[in-house]
Every structure is written in structure tokens, then in C-alpha cells.
Amino acid sequence: MQSANICVVGVGYVGLIQAVGLASFGLKVTCVDLDARKIAMLEKGIPPIFEEGLEEALREVIARGRVTFTTEIAAAGDCDLFFVAVGTPTSERTGNARLDYLDAAVSGIAAIARPEAVIAVKSTVPIGTCARLQARLDRDFAGKHLEIVSNPEFLREGTALNDFFNPERIVIGGNSEAARDKVRQSYAAFEDRGVPMIVSDTSTSETIKYAANAFLATKVTFINEISDLVETVGGDIDQVARGIGLDSRIGPQFLKAGPGYGGSCFPKDTLALATIGRRHGVQQQIVETVIRINDSRRFHILKRIESAMGDKLAGKRVAVLGLAFKANTDDVRDSPAVDIVHALLEEGAEVRSFDPVAKLSVDHRCYRQCESIAAACEGASAVLVATEWGEFRSFDFASVEPLVERRYIFDMRRVVDITAAWVPRWDIERIGSPLMRATGEAS
Ligand code: UDX
């Protein structure tokens, strides 16, 4: 492995995985972030996010002296390859991705970088952003010949480190061959293993990222609509998903019916793609429809819970199991569970939640976070399973029967074991299935 000097700017979720991953390959990585608190934590080997295996991997590369952390971009003056992974949040006003952090980061790099350095953009950015940044560098730093390359990430929260080490493809977009090659070399370990490299121009690369996330969001939304149909006409949505997923043209992944997609990427990226389409006069009608259906899904779920509770939520206590937007992460950004908590509180319900990892900052006299499933279920007229954590799958709800006000479960994730002995004593509603009324008989 050649020894490139690499800098990662923005050590949030994506940047930190990138830095630790490349350092594990033996490359020397300088990490820069404006957040001094975060840098101080990282220096001690403490990752600011919860991610399987990350802490061990971080400590290992620190111990080997392969990674350093700083708030000063000037410390990266000897680097020849910069990965930028700063946030591009959605602007509430326009729906566009906000690029001020990215612009500031690229300017900061350009000011200290040595000539011919390459700046690879890992942040998800509107199509055309890299071309715009390149034009700016050519104008403001003409003598330096700095090159912008687009290099999107495809990491899933919860499995990000594993995804980094086992990519299905690497996407590199740039307008100069030398710049693309420099980025490509940092992934030499993958290329040696036969991982496909999609090498193109910046616009193609930027589009791949949005199209991939929009397609997956569409797949989730599609199975959710079919699940609504199955709920009414009868059938088993999991078997339907399996039946179509075994067709290799469709594939089995992202066909799990649930409360709709959430998290820090799908909602933001689908909205950005729709906005880009409109701006260019090429409306992305499928994506726009997907966004609309996904947004209304949480509201429909609430209506279903409400009707099962006699149309009155006010004064009733509801247990919400799970807050994270999906299992194995502490991320609550755009989480369906969190939206449901807020909606329940607005309807006057009293909410008690439990999540094994995620925490929520809601200051409301009718809201309490509990330390166990049992504590959350105390006095509950409804138990909602909102995140697919493993411990909800195997939980013996017989143990909370003496605690609940009513034996009613709404399973938004279809994880509760409906073959368990306690099931006949409960009213159970699941996404994709009609209400199963308690028969009272033990199975
Ligand atoms: C996603 C992309 O997968 C990743 O490639 C990209 O880089 C970032 O965005 P992430 O946001 O971590 O990753 O979550 P992911 O596992 O893809 O799930 C997205 C949403 O879809 C979640 O809300 C999840 O619950 C939902 N989902 C996913 C389903 O409802 N059903 C499924 O079958 C799959």
C-alpha cells in the first residue's frame, strides 16, 4: 500500500467511518472538525456515535498512530487527498440541501492545501455541486490546480463499519484522470478484491447517490402500499415480500413493511432529488409521490391506533417500545417512533417509552422515558412496537399482563412473535395484518 497523506474534514458519522476505515488499511489520516468537544472525545478513543465495532477499531488505529484529530485545518497542510464529509441538511425554506458547511470546508482546505491536492466530496450534494466547486477553485486558487472529485458513501447506520469494509461498489466522479486515480488508489485494497469501481464524471457520480437512495425509498414505500392492500384483502405480507424478492430482478432487500422510511438520509435525499428535478424542469413524479405517501403513513398509523382505542387517546397511557428510526442505532432523526410519540402527546395521551439505546429530549409533563419494557408498559392501554430491536422480538408479554390496563399491541414492525403462548390473550394489530382479537384461549 502506498503511503498517501489523507485528511478527513468533518468527523460526523460518515467522516469518522471513512477515517477509521482508511487508517485500518495502513494509511495515515488527519481528522479535522470544528467541534472541539468532539475532537477531544475522539482523541481519547471515544466515538461520539453508537456504531457496532467502531470504538475498538478507533482505539486500534489511535494506538498504531495512524490517525490524529485536530480542530485546525492548517495541521493538514502536508496532505494531498482530502475527503469532505460535512453535513448537508435540508433547508426548511427551500427544500434544497444546504451547502454552507461544504463551501466553508472546501475554502478552508483550498487555502492551506499544496498544489495538485485533490478534494473528494463524500457529503451528499445536489447534482452540479462539484462542477460549481471546481469552477470556484479554478477562479480563486488558479495557481494551485486543485481538483474536486465526487465520491459518495453508501453506509447504513448500525452496519456502517462492515459496509465500509465490504462495499458493493466504489463510485468516483471527476473531470481529471489524475485526480480520479488519486482517490482510486486510496481504495486499492478493495480494487484488489475485485470490488467494482464506477469511474465517471462528477455529475454522474452525484446522481448515482440520489438515485440509489430514492430507489430504495421507493422500494420500501411500494411494499408498504402492498401491505395496506394485504391488510384489507387478506394474506401474509412477509410471504408476499419473500415471493417477489426471490425474483433476482427484484431482490429480497428493502421489502420489509413498516411505519415508513426515516433516518438522516432517505427523507433528506428524496426531498433534495425532487427539488433538483423541479429546478431543472424535470419533475421526479415517482419520488414526489413516494415522499407524499411516506409522510402521510405515520398519520394513518395513528388513526388506526386511535380507532382501536375507541377514538379517544386523551388521558390514556400508551407504551412506545423503540425510539430509534431503526434497530441497532441510537439515531432518532426523522424517526417514525418519535413522530408517533409527539402525535400521541398532542392528542392528550400519556406516553412512556423504552429504547435500549436511543434517548429523546422531549420536555412534556405527560412523557417519561423508562429503563425497561415492563416500566414502560405499566398502566398502558396500548403497547406500540415502533423499532425492530431484537429484544422486542423475544419479549414475553405474559410478564407484563398484570401491569397493563388493556392487553393491546400495535406492532409497527411485525417483530412480535405471534406464535407465543401469551398471544391469544391479547388484541394484536400489525402493519400488514388485520386486528387479531384475543380469544382468551392459551395456544
Ligand atoms: C441509508 C442507505 O441505505 C445508505 O446506503 C445511505 O448511505 C444512507 O441512507 P440508513 O439511513 O442508515 O442508510 O438506513 P437504512 O437501513 O437504509 O433504512 C432506511 C429507512 O428505511 C429506515 O427508516 C428503515 O426502517 C426503512 N426500511 C428499510 C424499511 O422500512 N423497510 C426495509 O425493508 C428497509
**What gap in Å lies between CA 258 and CA 327, rounded to an integer?**
13
Q: What is the band of 4 on the pLDDT scale with cuts at 50, 70, 90?
A: low
Q: What is the pLDDT of residue 434?
A: 85
**pLDDT, average across residues 219-235:** 96
Whether the per-residue pLDDT at 65 is higher than 90: the answer is: yes
Residue 443 scores a pLDDT above 60: no
- Angle at which helix 202-233 crosses helix 285-308, to 10 degrees, equals 30
- Give the residue from 92, 158, 148 showing the smallest Cα distance to 125: 148
Fold of 298-430: Rossmann fold (3.40.50)
The closest residue, in CA terms, to atom 31 on ligand 1 is 256
Fold agreement (210-295, 298-430): no
Share of the chain above pLDDT 90, in %: 88
Which among 52, 216, 253, 326 is the best mutation to test ligand 1's pocket, defined by most ligand atoms within 8 Å of the CB?
326
Burial class (CB in 10 A: 0-12, 13-18, 19+), 174: buried
What is the tens place of the pLDDT at every residue in 183-205?
999 999 999 999 999 999 999 99
For the segment 342-357, the average pLDDT, to the nearest whole number, is: 96
The closest-lying atom of ligand 1 relative to the alpha carbon of residue 336 is 23
Q: Which helix (H) or strand (E) holds 248?
A: none
At 441, the pLDDT band (50, 70, 90 cuts) reads low
**Residue from 368, 363, 389, 362 nearest 380 by CA:** 368
Q: What is 5-200's CATH superfamily?
A: NAD(P)-binding Rossmann-like Domain (3.40.50.720)
130 counts as catalytic: no
Kindly name the residue from 7, 31, 79, 265 that is annotated as catalytic.
265
DSSP state at residue 175 = S
Q: Give residue 266's pLDDT.
A: 96
Least confident range of 64-68, 110-114, 299-303: 299-303
**Distance (Å) of CA 47 to CA 17, 55, 123, 412:** 10, 6, 20, 31
Whether pLDDT at 134 is above 70: yes
* Rounded-to-integer distance, Cα 436 and Cα 443, Å: 14
Banded pLDDT at 123 (limits 50, 70, 90): very high
Mean pLDDT of 382-399: 96
pLDDT at 285 (0 to 100): 98
**Residue 15: left if φ>0, alpha if ψ -120 to 50, beta else—which one?**
alpha
In this prediction, what percent of the chain has a pLDDT beyond 70? 98
Tell me phi and psi for residue 336, to 5 degrees: -55, -35
**Across-strand partners of 150?**
121, 173
Would you tell me how many other CB atoms lie within 10 Å of the CB of residue 163?
A: 17
Determine the number of helices (DSSP H) and then strands (DSSP E) in the chain: 15, 15
**pTM score:** 0.94
Distances in whole angstroms, Cα of residue 94 to Cα of each of 125, 271, 274, 281, 395: 15, 10, 11, 16, 44
Confidence of residue 2 (pLDDT cuts 50, 70, 90): very low
Separation between Cα atoms, residue 177 and residue 99, nearest integer Å = 26
Residue 344 has pLDDT above 80, yes or no: yes
Q: What is the pLDDT of residues 270-293, one digit of tens each?
A: 999 999 999 999 999 999 999 999
Binding-site residues, ligand 1, Cβ < 6 A:
153-157, 213, 216, 220, 254-256, 258, 261-263, 265-266, 325-326
User: In what helix (H) or strand (E) does residue 204 lie, and over which residues does it extend?
Assistant: helix 202-233
Ordered by start, the domain boundaries in the chain are 5-200, 210-295, 298-430
Using CA positions, which residue lies closest to atom 34 of ligand 1? Answer: 254
Measured by CA distance, the residue closest to atom 33 of ligand 1 is: 254
Question: Which residue lies with its CA nearest to atom 19 of ligand 1?
Answer: 261
Please give, one letter per residue, the 3-state secondary structure of 17-56: HHHHHHHHCCCEEEEECCCHHHHHHHHCCCCCCCCCCHHH
Q: Is the pLDDT of residue 442 over 60?
A: no
Give one DSSP letter per residue of 80-140, joined into a string. Answer: SEEEE----PBPTTTSSBP-HHHHHHHHHHHHHPPTT-EEEE-S---TTHHHHHHHHHHHH
CA distance 3 to 9: 19
- Report CA-CA distances (Å) from 307 to 29, 118, 119, 295, 435: 55, 58, 54, 20, 11
Answer CATH for 210-295 from 3.30.465.10, 1.10.1040.10, 1.10.357.10, 1.10.3720.10: 1.10.1040.10
Q: In this structure, are residues 69 and 31 in contact, taking their beta carbons and an 8 Å threshold?
A: yes
pLDDT tens figures, 152-163? 999 999 899 999
